[in-house]
Each structure stands twice: as structure tokens, then as C-alpha cells.
Amino acid sequence: MQKYILVVLLFIVTNELASGQQISRVSCDFSVKTKVKGKAASKLVLGTCYYDIHVGRLIYDIRFPEKERWIFMDSIQWVVRNDSVVEVLPASIRPELSVMHLSLKQELSHYGLKNSSFKITEVAQDKGLVITTWAPPAAASKKIGKVATSTKNKQLYGVLFYSPAGEIIRKQFYQNYLTMQGLPFPTEVVDIVIEEKEEIWQQTTYVNVKLNDLKNSNIYTYWPRFIPAGKKSAKK
């Protein structure tokens, strides 16, 4: 199921603006709590994330449960410890669809779909929400399903991902917005992945959000010194 979701996300590609970005960086402290619905066990991750829209790499500086650094770029995640890549994984976050990127681009309200190959098929209103349904390109309709976005007060509230058969396979909710220099930023994101009749819940909370941080340039542009043989490198 996760592979299928990644295929869906590959079709949502945002275009770069021709004009320069006045606000190009964002950083914030975060906590991520993950659990399977109905089960007591949960996982907690704490750290600070950094994103520079011109660099295109999303950096997670993890301080709990283990000190390490995660680099998200394109569809790959590098896990780094002591300046060395120790693991390469399929990315659970695509930088161009992250809260950071979409907020900086002022494209969060439509989840970047306006500039993708998805097309609007329906717009409706329900209980104060404006719900927009987006269909995938015809050539991909047998592999990926529609996406529905909802906005409240012109801010993204939720995103639903469907399978080609019309079943909901993922839900996202964006809450508790703050606005800085005209940019709305949700400080709480709930992501629910439905996999084999189980719901995997992930709640991310952001605090200490900073724009155009100039004190940590070495982190925004960070790249590990050592990549062992066999570890795929895609440095930009």
C-alpha cells in the first residue's frame, strides 16, 4: 500500500515560480507520534526540521529516540549517523509535498494539485468546507485514484487519497494554523494510512517556526561526508 501511495504522490509535481522567492527557508521543532489505531504501543520522534526551497532537501535533525539526521530528497531518505549514511529508504515524505515547501510556495491550500497533471472534476460545499475532487490523468487512472481536498476559510483542512476502486487509503488533516509574513502554516498535521484494514496514525506538531533562518546555513545545505559503497547517492 505504501508503494501505491508513493506512485500517487509522484503525479503531484509542483512547478517552480519564475520569480524569485523572498522567503525561501523555514525551520521548526517537531514531535511525531505514530501508533496503530486500537493498540496501546506508540512511537515518538523529536527533532528539528530545516528546508530551503532552493536546495530542495528536507533535513530532519533527530534528537530522540536516537541522535541522527534524516535527509529527504526526491523519493529517497538517507539516515545519517556520525556524518555517515547508515541506511537508504524509500522516502515517507517528498520534499515538494511537505508542509514546508507548499507553505513557502503558497500552494498549501490546494496541496500543489493546481500545478499537477490532476484535473478538477467537482467542487462542493459541506458544513463550512469547500471540497474539491481531483482526477488523475487518464493514462494513470488504472493505477491511481482520485484525490479530494477540503479547505476552510481558504486554508487546507484535509486531503483524502483514493484507490482506483474508490476506497479511501489515506487521510490527512491540517490544523492550528499560524500566519507569518502572510504565509499560513499548520502547526498540527494528522496523517492516517489505511493498510490491510489497520489505520496507522501519525500526528506531527510543529513549534518555534522560523522563516529565513540565516544562522544554520550549514544544516540547510548539509550532505554527509561518507556514503558507503552500495548506498545510492543523488546529491544535488
Q: Mean pLDDT over residues 109-136, rounded?
A: 96
What count of Cα atoms within 13 Å lies in the side-chain half-sphere of residue 45? 15
Average pLDDT, the chain: 89
What confidence tens digit (pLDDT) does each residue in 191-228 have?
A: 999 988 799 999 999 999 999 998 899 999 999 988 76
Q: Which of 10-14, 179-183, 207-211, 222-226 has the lowest average pLDDT?
A: 10-14
- For 97-140, give the secondary structure using H, E and C: HCHHHHHHCCCHHHCCHHHCCCEEEEEEEECCEEEEEEECCHHH
Grid cell listed for 65: 529516540
Q: Averaging pLDDT over each range in 11-20, 21-30, 161-170, which range is the top one?
A: 161-170
What confidence category does residue 5 fall into, taking pLDDT thresholds of 50, 70 and 90? very low
Instruction: Please give the Cα distance from 161 to 103 (Å, whole number).
Output: 20
What count of Cα atoms within 13 Å lies in the side-chain half-sphere of residue 235? 10
Predicted structure pTM score: 0.86
* Domains of the chain, first to last: 2-16+25-220 (2.50.20.10)
